[in-house]
Amino acid sequence: MTTQMLKTPEVDLAYDVHGPLPTADGRPPLVMIGQPMAASGFGALASHLAERTVVTYDPRGLGRSTRKDGRVDHVPGIQAADVHAVIEALGAGPVEMFASSGGAVTALALVAAYPDDVTILVAHEPPLIPVLCDAQAAERARAGVRDAYEDKGSGAGMAAFIVMTSWQGEFTDDYFAQPAPDPAVFGMPTDDDGSRDDPLLSDRSWAVSSYRPDVDALTAAPTRVVIAVGEESLDTFTGRTSVATAKLLGQQATVFPSHHGGFLGGEFGYAGQPEAFARKLREVLDAAS
């Protein structure tokens, strides 16, 4: 693995290249992106795709990528431009791409704005509130996570986030009638460290979950876009957004093993099935090559 730093006036972007460039097999490199997860989250998945040259990166303001633009919010269009810059720096485009969660939102924005950058995009569980029939209730649920975080800190915020993202089906009155979850039940700290800058729990990433995909641009692009959903996620928030996004694009969501973090190893305490996930990803990518 080699680590590179792409420096621009607004940000220093760190990215890692696992394998040779030019690639050993003649295929484009496989770029993996997340949000707010950084490059470190793709270690297990990349290890099960050792035959591919894999590129991972830290989004602006996260991990090793240092912002110089004075902003703290996370905007898909800005991050798409960053990924475009990384692809240009690789000099090996167009690339294949696997993108998950907020990274899948960035990737959809990338394909809409830079349609020649990516040959195939596997967008795994993009958390897009506007595509839901209960979008207004989902926004209220999202605000509840932010409020819990602002009021009582990261433990309370993460407990509220887990409850929100594991809720089955639409956000009904029953959801909002629940008592505030106890962080200790989820193994979270109950003390407050005073920080309020978590991109997952604050409103800094609301532009990600509020993003409305440009369906016309996506369907017009030469990129093959595959919306993926975990088999364990189907009735949860990100499962429902995936199914709805796929429907907007005239397709059915492609089912992958495990859950929202199905590609993760055990190092983050949210282990999925990375080997089975990699097999499915390889199958989907090979079908398009």
For residues 92 and 23, the answer to whether their CB atoms sit within 8 Å is yes
pLDDT band at residue 266, thresholds of 50, 70 and 90? confident
- Mean pLDDT within 40-66: 97
The pLDDT tens digits of the residues spanning 226-242 come to 999 999 999 999 999 99
3-state secondary structure (DSSP) of residue 121? strand
- In this prediction, residues 265-273 reach a mean pLDDT of 86
Given pLDDT bands bounded at 50, 70 and 90, which one contains residue 267?
Answer: confident
pLDDT of residue 178: 96
Dist CA 66 CA 133 (whole Å): 37
Please tell me the predicted confidence (pLDDT) of residue 112.
Answer: 98
CA angle, 177 then 175 then 185, to 5° = 90
Question: What is the structure's pLDDT at 273?
Answer: 96
Q: What's the pLDDT band for 25 if we cut at 50, 70, 90?
A: confident
Which of 130, 82, 128, 91 has its CA nearest to residue 227?
128
The whole-angstrom distance between residue 280's C-alpha and the CA centroid of its chain comes to 18
Stretch 39-46: mean pLDDT? 96
d(CA 131, CA 248): 8
Rounded to whole angstroms, the Cα distance separating 101 from 238 reads: 8
Residue 288: pLDDT over 90: no
Tens-digit pLDDT profile for residues 159-197: 999 999 999 999 999 999 999 999 999 999 999 999 999
**Residue 134: Cβ within 10 Å count:** 16
Q: Say whether pLDDT at 275 is over 80.
A: yes
CA 199/CA 39 separation, integer angstroms: 16
Instruction: Name the pTM for this structure.
Output: 0.97
The answer to whether 145 and 164 are in contact (CB under 8 A) is yes
Please tell me the distance from the alpha carbon of residue 221 to that of residue 201, in angstroms, as a whole number: 33
Q: How far apart are CA 144 and CA 201, in angstroms?
A: 10
Q: What is the pLDDT of residues 88-121, one digit of tens each?
A: 999 997 999 999 999 999 999 999 999 999 999 9
**What would the pLDDT profile of 251-263 be if each residue is shown by its tens digit?**
999 999 999 999 9
pLDDT at position 64 is 98
| Model pLDDT, residue 269 | 76
Beta-bridge partners for 212: none
Confidence tier at 155 by pLDDT (50, 70, 90): very high
Confidence band, pLDDT 50/70/90 cuts, at residue 30: very high
Mean pLDDT of the chain: 96
pLDDT at 116: 97
pLDDT, position 93 = 79
